[in-house]
Amino acid sequence: MASLLRAAATWGLFPWRGYCSGVRQGKLSKDFVEALKAIVGSPHVSTAATVREQHGHDECQPPDAVVWPQNVEQVSQLAALCYRQGVPIIPFGTGTGLEGGVCAVQGGVCVNLTHMDRILALNPEDFSVVVEPGVTRKALNTHLRDCGLWFPVDPGADASLCGMAATAASGTNAVRYGTTRENILNLEVVLPGGQVLHTAGKGRHFRKSAAGYNLTGLFVGSEGTLGLITAATLRLHPIPEAMVAATCAFPSVQAAVDSTVHILHAAVPVARIEFLDEVMMDACNRHSKLNCPVAPTLFLEFHGSKQALAEQVQQAEKITQDNGASHFLWAKEAEERSQLWAARHNAWYAALALRPGSKGYATDVCVPISRLPEILVQTKEDLKTSGLTGCIVGHVGDGNFHCILMVDPEDAEELRRLKAFVHQLGRRALALHGTCTGEHGIGLGKRQLLQDEVGAVGMETMRQLKATLDPRGLMNPGKVL
């Protein structure tokens, strides 16, 4: 997915290029680089061009240095040093974000947190775990397997868990288990001046509290603009006794999305409900060797006891059939389910294969469930009108969907149509009382839409919070606000 960012920056889809070129702070002094080495050790500091480029994105300037701290004490010292010297700080996890969140728009120091990869505490009785920022979703679930617990939030990419906190990530399981925001109990955050904050109190992992302001919620989704997340206390869930997955095809987009709404209204506890339009299904059939109808399709998954699953499946099948569904394919065995969901998670690569030599761009919006049929049908019409090659895939159980678009980066007219389509999609979502992004975040690309979404008072409140925590504006500058 990192290639998406590089392509977007190059194409000038958003005003990254001009922003990135005019406010650079200048290269770091030799003494400052030596001070970085004194904190983390020489092997954990690099100013090599290739390394810096790996932590930046094309037209956006790369950082001036990359550092790999080994513990929170080093992160604190690094933050204090940078802040004293007026050097921008850019947190970096696995680099799988989609809105330019790691672009070093003013140069500075990129703090790569992947070497901090310990699972610090596991409390199975309390259904919680404490992880450092280098721990990824898949690594955690592998570690948890023997104790019968898992962390179900699944954005597709094997993202770092603290990075998921920073971007408020979600994914296919959000309809049942919630997003990252609902599954974070506490955060350890190094503030810009080097102070270490525990947002719910040091060592605490309670399920609910009415004590003071919700500081944890403030930092979830802050995209590195308020501090560096150095540990996260996560809520865990029992691994279900049984799982069943299914796909079914529909005669129209409207019918597929109506089924989604009806399933939710019937209180069927579906764990995943994903929509893929006919273009996306054609791509997945070719790329993942499936044999599904080329039609608007729902991917569903149910979790629970074997007895409960039988009832859930029966209810869902009846609802979908009433909306014209056909070609049911059920997957009960783990290997079959994995193959099915691998096809869904590989949708990006399948879409790129539809137009060899093109570059991909993805955007997302989220609307109230009741407005989902309307915006999806409108978006399909907008795609046809634009003449762009694109497809729709989404976590429709919570009103969130993505458009994946393939373009020729050398075709200025096609890029103009792409930019117009993306802007129109964001405006449509806002007009339907939705949001310009359900899970990708604001980053660099959606700052204007954020202003339209929250209004002048909302923006001013955010700016005041930013100014209080980061008065010098050095934490991941240029993002969100």
From first to last of its 481 residues, the chain has per-residue pLDDT tens of: 333 333 333 333 433 333 333 344 458 999 999 999 999 999 999 999 989 988 876 446 789 999 999 999 999 999 999 999 999 999 987 666 556 667 888 899 999 999 999 999 999 999 999 999 999 999 999 999 999 999 999 887 788 999 999 999 998 899 999 999 999 999 999 999 999 999 999 999 999 999 999 999 999 999 999 999 999 999 999 999 999 999 999 999 999 989 999 999 999 999 999 999 999 999 999 998 888 899 999 999 999 998 899 899 999 999 999 999 998 888 888 888 888 888 888 898 999 999 998 998 889 999 998 899 899 999 999 999 999 999 999 999 999 999 999 999 899 999 999 989 998 999 999 999 999 998 888 888 888 899 999 999 999 999 999 999 999 999 999 899 8
Q: Is 451 left (phi over 0), alpha (psi -120 to 50) or beta?
A: alpha
Q: Which two tokens stand for residue 293?
A: 């109808």
Strand 109-112 relative to strand 89-92: parallel, antiparallel, unpaired? parallel
**Euclidean distance between CA atoms 120 and 131, whole angstroms:** 6
Neighbours of 234 (CB within 10 A): 23
Question: How far from 143 is each of 74, 138, 357, CA to CA, in Å?
Answer: 26, 9, 40
- For 351-385, b/e burial (b = at least 16 CB within 10 A) is bbebbeebbbbbbbbbbebebbbebbeebbebbee
Backbone angles phi, psi at 223, to 5 degrees: 55, 35
**Euclidean distance between CA atoms 92 and 55, whole angstroms:** 8
Helices (H) and strands (E) in the chain, counts: 17, 18
**Euclidean distance between CA atoms 271 and 300, whole angstroms:** 8
Question: How far from 440 is each of 183, 277, 391, 448, 464, CA to CA, in Å?
Answer: 18, 20, 17, 15, 24
- 8 Å CB contact between 185 and 129: no
Look at residues 16, 193, 28 and name the one whose alpha carbon lies nearest to residue 109. Answer: 28
**Euclidean distance between CA atoms 259 and 224, whole angstroms:** 38
**Euclidean distance between CA atoms 159 and 143, whole angstroms:** 16
Write the DSSP string, 134-149. T-BHHHHHHHHGGGTE
Contacts of 270 (CB under 8 A, 6+ apart): 175, 176, 263, 264, 300, 301, 302, 312, 316, 397
Look at residues 207, 119, 205, 109 and name the one whose alpha carbon lies nearest to residue 162. Answer: 119
Backbone angles phi, psi at 476, to 5 degrees: 45, 60
- 8 Å CB contact between 129 and 121: yes
Look at residues 247, 330, 338 and name the one whose alpha carbon lies nearest to residue 294. Answer: 247
- 8 Å CB contact between 159 and 149: no
**Euclidean distance between CA atoms 460 and 451, whole angstroms:** 10
The per-residue pLDDT for 4 is 37
Question: E strands along 164-314, which residues?
Answer: 184-190, 196-198, 228-235, 237-238, 242-249, 270-276, 297-304
**Euclidean distance between CA atoms 437 and 167, whole angstroms:** 11
Question: How far from 310 is each of 47, 242, 256, 332, 392, CA to CA, in Å?
Answer: 58, 10, 22, 11, 30
Q: Which two tokens stand for residue 79?
A: 């933050």
- 8 Å CB contact between 252 and 295: no
- 8 Å CB contact between 15 and 54: no
The separation between CA 181 and the C-alpha centre of its own chain, rounded to angstroms, equals 12
